[in-house]
Amino acid sequence: MDALSDVLRVVRLTGGVFLHAEFSAPWCIAARVGSEHCAPALGPASHLIIYHYVVQGELCLRVEGEAGDVLALEAGEVVLLPRNDLHLIGSDIDLPPVLGGDIIQPPKDGGLFSIRHGGNGACTRMVCGFLGCDSAEGNPVISTLPPVLKLGLGESGAAEWIRSTFQYAAEEVAAGRPGSETVLAKLSELLFVETVRRYVETLPQGQTGWLAGLRDTHVARALALMHHDIARPWTVDELGREVGLSRSALADRFIRLIGTPPMHYLATWRMQVAMQKLRNTSASLAQVAEVSTPAQRSSPF
């Protein structure tokens, strides 16, 4: 099992779609999604990752409190907000914003929330959805993502297939056709994984962090080994032999990229897995400990 797949498995992503919005220029809204807008599909998830898919037209987006350029989006593009930060979206985000919560309309006949807002100018339609997960705190992927991720029109390969299929499903949702919400919910999980992969590929040289570690052959292999068998009493010596590095070379490279020694990382991940099992299964503490901890204590370095 590769480390990214394992981390996303443990975080238990649940996709959903909650809003169809239609705007006409000029317009600007301030938005942060509340869990009440994602029920009942959300379940017990404690963290929300939000996405906006532009079905028609174009818009600008800026995360409040974050320095950086305004992000421009056009039809067929999708943006994800891994931290569900307060953000401005609109035809002109220098306009005084309207709070999204003040103009959202409740679902009719079990459908989606909706928004119709703006002036008499160019039309923009979008579908908004979410990915719920158990917790972002301490998760090496969710907690290290930037505030905004974009999957654009120029992507190819798997990203293009997901984007084009997503476009079809989003248009079906916007048209109110039954069954399309379920398709879009499942596609949103694929969309998130592919967007993270694309983000990893574009990280600059010298970047550090867990995701940057996936681009280093030796560190990625060490991560995969630990995630594949977390109960094994790993040592840095053994990991080094498996990945083709000396003990000290692996430890140095791991600390430089991941920010913590390999065995400290493994201990933390074991705790993450144990908490997930206790929260989401009927296993007892003793049963969880049996499958999540090594038979003997390994070196902390």
As a whole number, the mean pLDDT across the chain is 82
Give yes or no for a contact between 176 and 110, defined as CB atoms under 8 angstroms apart: no
User: pTM of the prediction?
Assistant: 0.80
> Residue 226 corresponds to which tokens in the numbers above?
């630990």
Helices (H), the chain: 3-11, 100-103, 158-174, 180-201, 210-213, 217-228, 236-243, 247-258, 262-280, 285-292
Given this model, what pLDDT does residue 294 score?
Answer: 62
Q: How far, in Å, are 158, 170, 173 from residue 22 at the CA level?
A: 29, 13, 13
In one letter, which amino acid is 161? Answer: W
Given this model, what pLDDT does residue 60 score?
Answer: 96
Residue 42 has pLDDT above 70, yes or no: no
Given this model, what pLDDT does residue 289 score?
Answer: 57
Given this model, what pLDDT does residue 73 score?
Answer: 94
Q: How far, in Å, are 27, 70, 205, 218 from residue 262 at the CA level?
A: 50, 38, 22, 12
Shortest CA distance to 140 belongs to which of 220, 50, 246?
220
Given this model, what pLDDT does residue 113 score?
Answer: 83
Dist CA 83 CA 138 (whole Å): 13
Instruction: For residue range 18-32, list pLDDT tens digits in order.
Output: 788 999 999 999 999
Q: How far, in Å, are 90, 148, 284 from residue 87 at the CA level?
A: 10, 10, 42
Given this model, what pLDDT does residue 130 score?
Answer: 85
Report for 36-45, 236-245, 270-279: range of highest mean pLDDT:
236-245
Give mean pLDDT, residues 207-211: 91
Q: Which of 38-52, 96-110, 142-156, 286-300 has the lowest mean pLDDT?
A: 286-300
Instruction: For residue range 135-151, list pLDDT tens digits in order.
Output: 667 778 888 888 999 87
CB atoms within 10 A of CB 124: 24
